[in-house]
């Protein structure tokens, strides 16, 4: 499965992407904001992630720039601790502040609508408020709930703010994926 936006190509990952993936995710500052990625995250971890991509039960994509095919992040769906479908994403530090997380997530939320999904959960660690701003731009609303969530990279749980998006009510809320 692929998605194309104004600036990005969202695509499957292949084994040859491992060096680029390891380089893009490359800092603890990124990995510590993900629930399941270990630290340190190097070539071996990238190879393992890419080898599992075909078997993932829900769509997951590498994010590349359209004009250079440079891997700049990843986004996709998984299962939240509640059992509901959850959105996740990350963008390489050198590409922060360009709206790529919002652009990529909007594209895969369109895929979720096409698949007939009605609700998507998301969350962010409290020490990562930029992720909350992305979620709000996409039309997610805070649930008013917080929960401790394990981070493999941190080696401990950290408090997360929880969000919900009702795709049936959000027809026009998310930015269009060009």
What single string gives the DSSP state of each residue in 38-57? -SS--HHHHHHHHHHGGG-S
Containing structural domain, residue 14:
3-166
pLDDT number for residue 17: 97
105 alpha carbon, distance to own chain's centre: 7
Sequence-ordered list of residues with C-beta below 8 angstroms from that of 168, at least 6 positions apart, any chain? 118
- Per-residue pLDDT band for 171 (boundaries 50, 70, 90) equals low
Q: Domain for residue 150, yes or no?
A: yes
Q: Is residue 174 part of a domain?
A: no
Q: What pLDDT does residue 26 have?
A: 85
100 within some domain: yes
Domain presence at residue 171: no
Q: Hey, what are 96's tokens?
A: 């922060």
- Tell me, yes or no, whether 173 lies in a domain: no
CATH number of the domain bearing residue 90: 3.40.630.30
Nearest to 76 by CA among 85, 88, 84, 92: 88
Q: What are the tens digits of pLDDT across the range 37-96? A: 999 999 999 999 999 998 999 999 999 999 888 999 999 999 998 999 999 999 999 999
Residue 51 forms part of a structural domain: yes
Backbone φ and ψ of 6, nearest 5°: -55, -45
124-169 residue pLDDT tens: 999 999 999 999 999 999 999 999 999 999 999 999 999 999 999 8
Cα–Cα distances in Å, from 73 out to 101, 157, 159? 8, 23, 24
Rounded Cα gap, residues 80 and 49, in angstroms: 18
Helix or strand (DSSP H, E) at 24: helix 18-25
Identify the pLDDT of residue 173: 47
Number of H helices, E strands in the chain: 5, 8
Does the residue 176 lie in any domain?
no
Q: What is the pLDDT of residue 47?
A: 97
Residue 43 lies in a domain: yes
Domain count, the chain: 1
């Amino acid at each position: 499965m692929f998605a194309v936006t104004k600036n990005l190509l969202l695509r499957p990952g292949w084994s040859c992407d491992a060096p680029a993936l390891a380089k893009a995710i490359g800092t603890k500052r990124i990995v510590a904001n993900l629930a399941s990625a270990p630290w340190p995250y190097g070539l071996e971890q990238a190879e393992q992630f890419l080898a599992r991509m075909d078997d993932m039960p829900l769509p997951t994509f590498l994010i590349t720039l359209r004009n250079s095919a440079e891997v700049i992040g990843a986004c996709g769906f998984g299962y939240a601790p509640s059992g509901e479908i959850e959105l996740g994403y990350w963008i390489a530090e050198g590409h922060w502040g360009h709206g790529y997380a919002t652009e990529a997530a909007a594209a895969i939320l369109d895929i979720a609508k096409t698949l007939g999904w009605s609700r998507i959960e998301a969350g962010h660690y409290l020490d990562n408020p930029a992720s909350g701003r992305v979620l709000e731009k996409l039309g997610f609303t805070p649930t008013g709930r917080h929960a401790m969530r394990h981070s493999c990279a941190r080696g401990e749980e950290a408090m997360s703010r929880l969000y919900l998006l009702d795709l049936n009510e959000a027809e026009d809320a998310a930015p269009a994926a060009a």
